[in-house]
Amino acid sequence: MAEASQELSALKTSFQSPDLPNYYIWWNPANTILGLGVQALEAEISFASGNVQHAIELLEEAVDLESQLIYDEPPPWSVPSRQLLGRMLFDSQNYEAAREIFLADLEQYPENGWSLFGLYQSLVLLKQTDQAKEVKSRFELAWKTADTQPVVGSF
């Protein structure tokens, strides 16, 4: 936690640079991209510290920030905020909210294996067996050629 807090402090210092708004990462302002990093890291630290509600609020803000990015391939921010939010909701046993977030992420990134995994796990714990079976099939197809498989807590 101490190292993560130090990194967050350094990231926030970089974020405060008066020159940052003048720089772009491809088509997106660097301060928007760096802002996503600040939000994500601060959320992770808050969650690990037991401040779950604050972590969730930070990631909800990150989802909004990420939605402002101009589309590019590969994406300018490679860790989708909805997936982080879904994992935190799942880990805090709010399976219904996690299900909704993973569904929303799948609208943005169809058949994304990580979101399918989170959705499947949420449906299992919500005892929505038929839907879980259907999503599991999609998940297995998405991960068919992967050299590793996710486990609960890894998404």
Same domain, 54 and 99: no
Same domain, 14 and 73: yes
Same domain, 1 and 74: yes
Q: What is the mean pLDDT of residues 124-143?
A: 97
- Contact indicator for 141, 122 with CB cutoff of 8 Å: no
Same domain, 7 and 55: yes
The total number of structural domains that make up the chain:
2
Q: What is the mean pLDDT of residues 122-137?
A: 97
Annotate 107-119 with DSSP letters as a single string.
HHSTT-HHHHHHH
Last residue of one domain, picked from the residues 79, 102, 118: 79
- Determine the structural domain holding residue 67 and report its residue range: 1-79
Say yes or no to pLDDT of 137 above 90. yes
Same domain, 37 and 52: yes
Same domain, 124 and 155: yes
Q: What is the mean pLDDT of residues 110-139?
A: 97
- Which backbone phi and psi does 154 adopt, to 5 degrees? -100, -5
Same domain, 122 and 56: no
Same domain, 70 and 100: no
Last residue of one domain, picked from the residues 52, 79, 106: 79
**pTM of the predicted model, to two decimals?**
0.91
Please give the pLDDT value at position 154: 64
Same domain, 122 and 51: no
- Rounded Cα gap, residues 21 and 29, in angstroms: 6
Question: What's the mean pLDDT when you consider all of the chain?
Answer: 94
Cβ neighbours around 35 below 10 Å, total: 20
Say yes or no to pLDDT of 153 above 80. no
Residue closest to 76 by CA, chosen among 8, 29, 20: 29
Say yes or no to pLDDT of 155 above 80. no
Same domain, 35 and 89: no
Q: What is the mean pLDDT of residues 86-102?
A: 97
Please give the pLDDT value at position 2: 94
Residues 6+ positions from 98 with CB-CB distance below 8 Å = 86, 87, 89, 90, 118, 122
What would the pLDDT profile of 100-117 be if each residue is shown by its tens digit?
Answer: 999 999 998 999 999 999
What would the pLDDT profile of 10-46 be if each residue is shown by its tens digit?
Answer: 999 998 999 999 999 889 999 999 999 999 999 999 9
The CATH number for 104's domain is: 1.25.40
Same domain, 92 and 141: yes
What would the pLDDT profile of 47-67 be if each residue is shown by its tens digit?
Answer: 999 999 999 999 999 999 999
Element (H, E) at 66: helix 52-67
Last residue of one domain, picked from the residues 79, 112, 137: 79
Residue closest to 136 by CA, chosen among 153, 154, 121: 121
Say yes or no to pLDDT of 78 above 70. yes
